[in-house]
Amino acid sequence: MHVIVVGINFKTADVSIREKFCFSSESLPLALTKLNNYPSIKGSVILSTCNRVEIYATVEKIEEGIKNVIDFISEHHAISVQSFMPFIYSKYCQSAAMHLFRVSSGLDSMVVGEYQVQGQVRDAYFLAKENNATNGMLNKLFQLAIQSGKRVRSETSIGEGTISAATLAVEIVKKTFKEKSDFNVLLIGAGKMSLLAAANFQKQFKGCKISVTNRSTERAVELADQFQGTVIDFDKKLESIIDNDIIIASTSADSYVVCKDEMLSLNGAIQSKRKIFIDLSIPRNIDPEINSVENCLVYSMDDINKEINSNLDKRASEAINAEKIIKEIAQDYFDWYAKQSRIPSMLEIKKELILIKQNTMSCNAALFDSLDQNQKEVIEKMLDIYTGKIIQVIMRNHKKPSGAEVEVPEAETQHHHHHCMN
């Protein structure tokens, strides 16, 4: 059994492409079931975030497994394979494991050391496990990946001065409105990202007033209460935009919740003062064409990520320490993997040794018959201990090297010869 990963991320594709591949949390249980029905797939976890969609799977045959995952992506999202192949990368065996450890530790993130991805890896794993999509190999891999993320954050300073999309949104506003601090902020959506954004805005701007609108009014009320904010009826969000300087969208909607035509329909009511639309959603929730409406600026996740340029030097030096921790944890996984691959042959050897023990006792039946029951039990126990010791010696000397890391070139999915850990 081998582990593979097939993915698309911010390095290989911009937001307009990535958003076509994301999985909503509601769609994941069915998606995992569909994926595991492919012939070569024996277990899977789907990690879908703003900056990446990665599918981890255990397979019997690597090439067939990668092809199955690509076919699944094509079928699930109704996109032709040819159209997305230039943006896809695939890794297998050690490279796939190392990649997940680096992702969970924030080393493969756009903001090195960002903390959100560790929780996203954990949530993706738990959801897959709850839906019986994983197996022993994936369970071990993801448990160590989560451990890797925790250790990197507790043993290095890689996450200090944490930058997230929510904090970068504040920086964008500061640059646009240099002297202003009494903002009206409308949050469309009441999830984690909206919570972070509200906290950051109220911390940075003294006169910041928060309004919240959400399809579920109950969640909107919960969020608004935390920030002494106002709840806006979801159907009235368009009129509410007129009264707000900053509109932050973070929902799980799979299409725009604010369109250019709607903005134009406000008949000039919005054109007298500048507005910033910050879209923290994948798929995007704010129509990028709103940029062409007078006094309106739209920032997508990719635009926000371009703002990253501060306190990354320190993180780069901390990343070296993080890589050491990851290699240590990765070695634990590779040793465990190598041991699993030896267990079937060890069980066969154990069966043979039990037969040898029984034959030895049969061949020495005359000697055994002269012993009392207690003595017989002592000798049999000694033989069992001896058998166990022999197996331990064989295990120690039968260690297969976990093999040099084999990197699959990014965006390449056809591989004709594989060297793996087993």
**Residues classed as catalytic:** 50
Query: How many CB atoms are closer than 10 A to CB 179?
Result: 4
Q: How far is CA 59 from the centre of its chain?
A: 19
Identity (one letter) of the amino acid at 336?
W
The CA–CA distances, whole Å, from 105 to 92, 113, 145 equal: 19, 7, 8
Sheet of strand 2-9: strand arrangement? 41-48, 52-59, 2-9, 89-92
Provide the 3-class DSSP secondary structure of residue 358.
helix
Query: DSSP state, 52?
Result: E
Q: How far is CA 84 from the centre of its chain?
A: 20
Provide the 3-class DSSP secondary structure of residue 349.
helix
Sheet of strand 184-188: strand arrangement? 230-231, 209-213, 184-188, 246-249, 275-279, 296-299
| Cα–Cα distance for residue pair 279/249, rounded to 1 Å | 5
- How many residues are listed for the chain in this entry? 422
- List, in order, residues 6 or more apart from 285 with CB less than 8 Å away: 188, 189, 249, 250, 251, 253, 255, 256, 257, 258, 279
Residue (of 194, 192, 235, 238) closest to 212 by Cα position: 194
- Residue pointed to by tokens 């890794």: 91
Q: What is the DSSP string of 309-337?
A: -SSHHHHHHHHHHHHHHHHHHHHHHHHHH
Provide the 3-class DSSP secondary structure of residue 275.
strand
